[in-house]
Amino acid sequence: MTSAIRQSTGIDRLDTALGGGLIPGTLTVVLGATGIGKTQLGLSYANAGISQEGERGIVFDLTTRGDSQNQPEYAKRMFGWDFCQRVIQDRIDPSIVWTRDAIRSDYLHVFHRGGRRVTIGDMQPEEWQEFKADLMRRLDQTIAFFYGNFVHGVRRAVIDGVEPTTRDADSFQFHLFDYIYHQILRKEHDWLARDLFRVHFRSQEETVNRFAYNHQQIGGMLLYTSHEVMLDDLISRPIQSGDVLSNANTIILAGKTREGTKLGRALYVAKHRGSACEDQILPYQITEKGIEFLD
């Protein structure tokens, strides 16, 4: 697979390492420890949408413990971008997606579990059933958030806040991410509209067709926190069957490096299917403006 049109990450040096940027319609996973700069990279990618597609990307926060990923603060400092945050409501009228001012937003934090862990094994069976029922109540608003932004020109989605677990299959965050990726980002626009409007789809079908978009132009970026801190450990990390990394088109690893008594940060493009990419480690630093490469 090759494409003449790439999505810029907003960082020229990284775009060069990626052979021109990311390939639309695919999944990119940025893997690294807490504080390594994943959120800054994700926001840079989202912000770059304003120059390429005329709309910034959106951020969907999967953080469950109530702590903030500081996305609004970073966005303001790095790009002068004032986040328009969408909040979960008790009830939503799906037809608001047609009104740009009512639906166009930058950020949604869909749920949290008040500091509790994120693995299914940590929940009693009744807790897991309760969580799934609560999630289903929130899916309509999740679909409206993504679909409503896509019909108004957004072509980038960043999913942040995924916390480390021993196995992806044990994480309820990955259950939600799997739904978002396969049933929202990779779904044709009219079928996603059916999920949103359900029995009222026929009455909305004409408008759905008028606001049609090509889902193959939408790029997805997952920011995934790892147990590993050092870049060498990330590079040697085995990929398990069913691991989200096995389904990613592009994998960017971000970790600490050691040179004598000094620690630094570096990125490595471990996978970039369908495109040439640089096979070297790229040192960087984090500044007030985000990630800046040192070479």
Neighbour-count burial of 51, counting CB atoms closer than 10 A to its CB (0-12 exposed, 13-18 middle, 19+ buried): exposed
Q: Using an 8 Å Cβ cutoff, are 58 and 45 in contact?
A: no
In DSSP terms, 254 is beta-bridged to: 32, 267
d(CA 177, CA 162) in angstroms, rounded, equals 9
Half-sphere exposure at residue 151, Cβ-oriented, CA atoms within 13 angstroms = 25
DSSP for residue 85: E
| Mean pLDDT on 236-244 | 74
**From CA 163, how far away is CA 66, in angstroms rounded?**
13
Q: List, for residues 184-238, the tens digit of each pLDDT value.
A: 999 999 999 999 999 999 999 999 999 999 999 999 999 999 999 999 999 998 8
> What is the residue-averaged pLDDT of the chain?
89
Strands 282-287 and 262-272: antiparallel
Q: Pick from 29, 19, 22: which is nearest to 7 by CA?
A: 22
Strands 27-32 and 282-287, sheet pairing:
unpaired
- Residue 157 is which amino acid? A
pLDDT at 69: 65
**What is the distance between the alpha carbons of residues 290 and 222, in angstroms, rounded to a whole number?**
18
Q: How confident is the model at residue 162 (pLDDT cuts 50, 70, 90)?
A: confident
Q: What is the pLDDT of residue 67?
A: 54
Dihedral, CA atoms, 266, 270, 274, 278, nearest 10 degrees? 50
pLDDT(160) > 80: yes
Q: Which tokens go with 274?
A: 């369908």
pLDDT score for 168: 61
pLDDT for position 92: 84
Query: Tens digit of pLDDT for each residue in 45-93?
Result: 999 999 999 999 999 998 876 555 689 999 999 999 999 999 887 788 9
Tell me which amino acid residue 222 is: L
- CB 243 within 8 Å of CB 258: no
Hey, which bits of 36-123 come out as E strands? 58-61, 85-86, 107-109
Q: Is the pLDDT of residue 181 over 80?
A: yes
In this prediction, residue 2 carries a pLDDT of 43
Return the closest-CA partner of residue 24 out of 49, 42, 44, 60: 49
Contact criterion met (CB below 8 Å) for 234 and 31: yes
pLDDT reported for residue 137: 74
Q: Give per-residue pLDDT as tens, 8-28.
A: 999 999 999 999 999 999 999
Distance, in Å, from the CA atom of 168 to the CA atom of 121, rounded to the nearest integer, reads: 12
| Predicted confidence (pLDDT) at residue 129 exceeds the cutoff of 80 | no
List phi, psi (to 5°) of 100.
-55, -45
What is the C-alpha separation between 111 and 62, in angstroms, rounded? 7
% of the chain at pLDDT higher than 90: 68
